[in-house]
Structure 1
Amino acid sequence: MVLVVQIILAVVLIYFAIIFFADYYKHRHENDGNIVVAGVIGFITNFLDTLGIGSYAPTTLLLKVTKYLKSDKLIPGTLTVACTIPVITEAFLFIDAIKMEGATLLSMVAAAAIGSFTGSKIMTKFNEKIIRIIMGIALFLTAVLMLLSQLGVISALGAGNTALGLHGGKLVIAVVVNFILGALMTAGVGLYAPCMALVYMLGMNPAVAFPIMMASCAVLMPVASREFVKSGDYNRRGSMGITIGGIIGVVIAVTFVKSLDLTVLTWLIIVVVTYTGLSMLYQGIKQKNAA
């Protein structure tokens, strides 16, 4: 069953790469940012993603700090498009490391992909004011989830769990929730932490969360990215730079970094992401009231 998932990943990777590179080549003369700066951002954030911190919140943070994007409306699309290939790379490297029931894995992955398609359709229709509010809330929720994870609350939910798959009502719940998480990911809410909490609360072995999270993201992101590429609601040069730097970051993290104390860095990211999220939320509300 893992082979089936890997084949699916290979297909969506090729499909997305063709769409993304074709769009980039078509608009290659557009100067919408420094690709080297984007590459550095991609390297850092996807390196951290491979080590378990996540990439969406840090990438949003660095895009804001460097003032890379001309409009916050481009954040959801840029995040999704830019991180797609690095995340698929992660999935290929990790997906077969942990065994679980294939039916559960495929069901949850499919649900996340369908959810992301639905979410991306909605996100491309929002203006910058709404995007700011959504991203502000998304970043704040991400910070809360990171905090709960850092405090051990989420991992405590999985203590003693042994199930390697779900059946009946629990599987239905998992599919429905992963559909919602897939949709929310297109708004900037990372899937890793809430998906991990879901897996734990349904009684599954904590280790099973990793193939579910990685495969879900790896499949849903190309689906959502297609809509952003189609609408043009993303930064092309930035996405290409983050993609290239991200792949390098993932490979280096997997190959050379066996262990790294990320405690202080994680706390710092939580604080800064919280501030960034609240700032965007304030700006969005203020802009909306002024409209």
Structure 2
Amino acid sequence: MLTILLTAIVIINLLFIYTLVKDLIKHKDEVMSEPASTIWTPIAQVIIYFLSTFGISDFAISTALYPKAKWVSMKKLPGTLNTQCVIPVFVMALAYINSISVGVTTLLVCIVCQVIGAYVGPYFVVKLPEKVIKNFVVVGLLVASLLILAGKFNWIPANGTATELTGTKLVLTGLLMFVYGALNNIGIGSYALTMATVYAMGMNPAAAFPIMMGACTFSVSIGSMQFIKLQDYSRKITMMSVFGVIGVLIAVFLVKSLNTQMLQWVVLVVLLYSAVSLFMAGRKESEA
């Protein structure tokens, strides 16, 4: 089953890469005219996905950075958050599923449910007004901040030992993963939410990583192909996301552990600042 799962991961991501390259070739004259920095975007990708490999949400960091840097419009931000992470998360999934033990049935349920949520999401997101998307992004930043705080103050249990879920817990986790897959498409990352769910279900905290990466590598690739089809993403940022693989490989093979405690406080401050900034900007626009 594990071999079949890994093979499926490779196939779905190769299909995404084919879809992306086809779209980039079709719009090759437009790609480099997009506003994202040719120099700083690759550097940002390395840093973002280095941190993401340790469970610090790439959605949250990118959401805090991109609007400030004016690299992508708020309308195309949700699609970009999804498309840019496909290739780096593909590498993460292969690394974590091979190295951390988690029940195959649990893993498959989480993956399938999140994929279904991710598949239906883009068709609703592209119809949302920019103001609504901005509000969702603010909520996503606040949710990510709250979950970081919950972990800091032990409001969420993180000492479980289970590697497999059954019965009601498995059904509930599947339903939540469906919701997280849909939330990905409006810019609310699923890493922190998945971690909180895994902890609450009494699972070994390490099991969060193969579940997060395994579910995301399917859900974001499938959801992202819809965003590409709907032309609702930044091609330039997504093309440069290949540099994120460098950050993943450094984290997996060179940096075996990272003191994320201080980093989480820094990320928390950045997320709250970004949420307040976006909220205040939205209020000013409404008043104007």
TM-score relative to the length of structure 2: 0.93
Alpha carbons 1:129, 1:288 under 8 Å: kept: no
Shift of 1:271: 0.8
Cα distance in 1 for partners of 2:57, 2:2 equals 23
Deviation at 1:175, TM superposition (A): 0.8
- Counterpart of 2:63 (choices 60, 65, 76) is 60
Match of 2:252 in 1: 254
The offset of 1:37, in angstroms, is: 2.2
Q: Distance in 2 between matches of 1:168 and 1:265?
A: 37
Q: By how many angstroms is 1:268 displaced?
A: 1.6
Match for 1:5: what amino acid?
A: L
Match of 2:216 in 1: 217
Tell me, yes or no, if structure 1 residue 169 matches structure 2 residue 144. Answer: no
For 1:1-291, list aligned pairs within 5 A: 1-30=1-30, 31-33=33-35, 34-69=37-72, 71-154=73-156, 157-159=157-159, 161-241=160-240, 243-288=241-286
Note if contact 2:55-2:209 (Cα within 8 Å) is conserved in structure 1.
no
Q: How many percent of aligned residue pairs carry the same amino acid?
A: 35
Q: Check conservation: 1:137, 1:281, Cα contact below 8 A.
A: no
1:9-28 Cα deviation digits (max 9, x unpaired): 10111010001111111111
Task: Give the SS at the match of 1:194.
Answer: helix
Q: For residues 49 and 201 of structure 1, what CA distance do their matches in structure 2 show?
A: 21
**1:194-246 alpha-carbon deviations (Å, 9 max, x no partner):** 112212222223222221111011110011101111111111112211x1221
- State the 1:78 CA deviation: 0.7
Give the residue type in structure 2 aligned to 1:148: A
- CA shift for structure 1 position 53: 1.4
- On the 8 A contact 2:136/2:188 being kept in 1, the answer is no
Aligned mates of 2:67, 2:284 — CA distance in 1 = 18
CA distance in 1, matches of 2:169, 2:259: 35
1:224 is matched by which residue type in structure 2?
A: G
Q: State the one-letter code of the partner of 1:262.
A: T
Q: Which digits, 9 at most, give the CA deviation of each residue in 1:110-138, with x for residues without a partner?
A: 00011111222211111211111111111
Contact 1:115 1:182 in 2 (8 A): yes
- 3-state SS, counterpart of residue 73 of structure 1: coil
- SS of the equivalent of 1:83 reads helix
**What RMSD in Å do the two structures reach over aligned CA positions?**
1.7
Q: Give the whole-Å Cα distance in 1 for the aligned partners of 2:187 and 2:6.
A: 25
Q: Structure 2 CA distance, aligned partners of 1:75 and 1:273?
A: 16
Is 1:136–1:277's contact at 8 Å kept on the other side of the alignment? yes
* Kept after mapping to 2: 8 A contact 1:42/1:59: no
CA–CA separation in structure 2 for the residues paired with 1:166 and 1:263: 28
Give the superposition deviation at 1:289: 6.2
Deviation at 1:285, TM superposition (A): 4.8
The alignment of Structure 1 onto Structure 2 pairs a total of residues equal to 285
Q: What TM-score do the two structures reach when normalised by structure 1?
A: 0.92
Distance 2:149 2:81 in 1: 22
CA drift of 1:54 comes to: 2.0
Unmatched runs of 5 consecutive residues or more in structure 1 = none
Q: CA deviation at 1:264?
A: 2.7
- Pick which of 58-67 and 256-265 moved more: 256-265
